[in-house]
Amino acid sequence: MVVPPKYNWFRLLFVWKGSIIEKIYPRLIVLFLFCCVIVYLRGEIFEYKIALNPTPFSLIGVAVAIFLGFRNNASYDRFWEGRKLWGALVLENRSLARQVTTLTGLPLQSTELSAFIHMQIAFVYSLKHQLRATDPRPDLERNLPASLVGQVMEARFKPIFLLREMGFWLQQRRASGHLDSITLTAIDHTLNQLSGIVTGCERIANTPIPYTYNVLLHRTVYLYGLLLPFGLVDSLGWMTPVIVVFIGYTFIAVDAIGNEIEEPFGTEPNDLPLNAMCQIIEASVLETVGKSLPASPNAFSKLIVD
């Protein structure tokens, strides 16, 4: 995710990195060249004049803008829900680390406590890899014993498997007398919260915006852009390409932004910075047991680059 510094109004006009224009500029160039051809031919194709009145384009443009607004609201709702879920993931992992550190009676430097903390870290990274369909093995091997890594890699839902292992760890502390039933219930509630967060993320990742809705808007936007020069060429002349590309930039950019943020767990410039948030959780829980993690200068002040 790219979070640029606060530019002034003039410099903001020329920002490239993180803007959607770096993805859509080839389409705008094609639209510009198409408009130039239409102007050169004076709106004629094979000596047939395509005479379109600008008035219908005004009505269609308003309708397209309204539908794009609804679609982008739906996409942003998914993005913001994903951000809230990962914010809750940070909170619950910090709470869980505090609970097992202060309520189990184990010393901070004990291997048993360290094993649980690293299971937490592996859980967070496994969720990130599940959402992005990437290989979790390097992060698992960094935090788990080899025997457990093999078991986790065989599991289909790796974060849930690790939650089960954390539950077994708590059960063993209860059997050894380090936890009473009330404390165990409180910590188990935190595990339930983590399970709910995993399910919420899976809901977003596995339930996209209805495909037919995207297809309808996508086709309408591009058909509108291709027909618009025929309605403006007689009144605007050689200014037609400039005006059409400006209008096309607005509609095409809004359509592309909706496509990008509706899948908030990806690796696009405006998707959620899952790498940075995993590092934040890792540093937080390690500090709970007196360990430290070297942090990048940007990851913990702002969630800048993923």
Mean pLDDT, range 285-301, rounded to an integer: 66
71 and 33 both lie in a single domain: no
- Structural domain containing residue 233: 1-51+222-261
**Residue 215 falls within a domain, yes or no?**
no
Residue 160's pLDDT is: 96
195 and 306 both lie in a single domain: yes
21 and 126 both lie in a single domain: no
237 and 162 both lie in a single domain: no
177 and 244 both lie in a single domain: no
78 and 203 both lie in a single domain: yes
Residue 302's pLDDT is: 47
Residue 290's pLDDT is: 84
The half-sphere exposure of 258 on its side-chain side, counting CA atoms within 13 A, is: 26
**Residue 58 falls within a domain, yes or no?**
yes
**Residue 193 falls within a domain, yes or no?**
yes
101 and 180 both lie in a single domain: yes
pLDDT in tens, 161-203: 999 999 999 999 888 887 888 889 999 999 999 999 999 999 9
145 and 43 both lie in a single domain: no
Percent of the chain with pLDDT over 70: 91
Average pLDDT over all residues of the chain:
86
The half-sphere exposure of 104 on its side-chain side, counting CA atoms within 13 A, is: 25
Residue 300's pLDDT is: 44
Kindly report each contact of residues 34-41 with a partner whose C-beta sits within 8 Å and lies 24 or more positions away, as own/partner: 34/226, 34/229, 35/229, 35/240, 35/241, 35/244, 35/245, 36/241, 38/229, 38/230, 38/233, 38/240, 39/229, 39/233, 39/237, 39/238, 39/240, 39/241
**Residue 217 falls within a domain, yes or no?**
no
Q: Is the pLDDT of residue 114 over 80?
A: yes
Predicted model pTM: 0.85
180 and 252 both lie in a single domain: no
**Residue 290 falls within a domain, yes or no?**
yes
Give the model's confidence band at 306: pLDDT under 50 very low, under 70 low, under 90 confident, else very high.
Answer: very low
29 and 141 both lie in a single domain: no
152 and 22 both lie in a single domain: no
Strand pairing partners for 45? 48
Q: Is the pLDDT of residue 299 over 80?
A: no
Tokens 């309708």: give the residue: 63
Domain count along the chain: 2
CA distance 244 to 250: 10
Helix runs in the chain, H state only: 9-12, 21-40, 54-103, 111-132, 137-143, 146-154, 158-175, 181-206, 211-236, 240-261, 274-288
174 and 45 both lie in a single domain: no
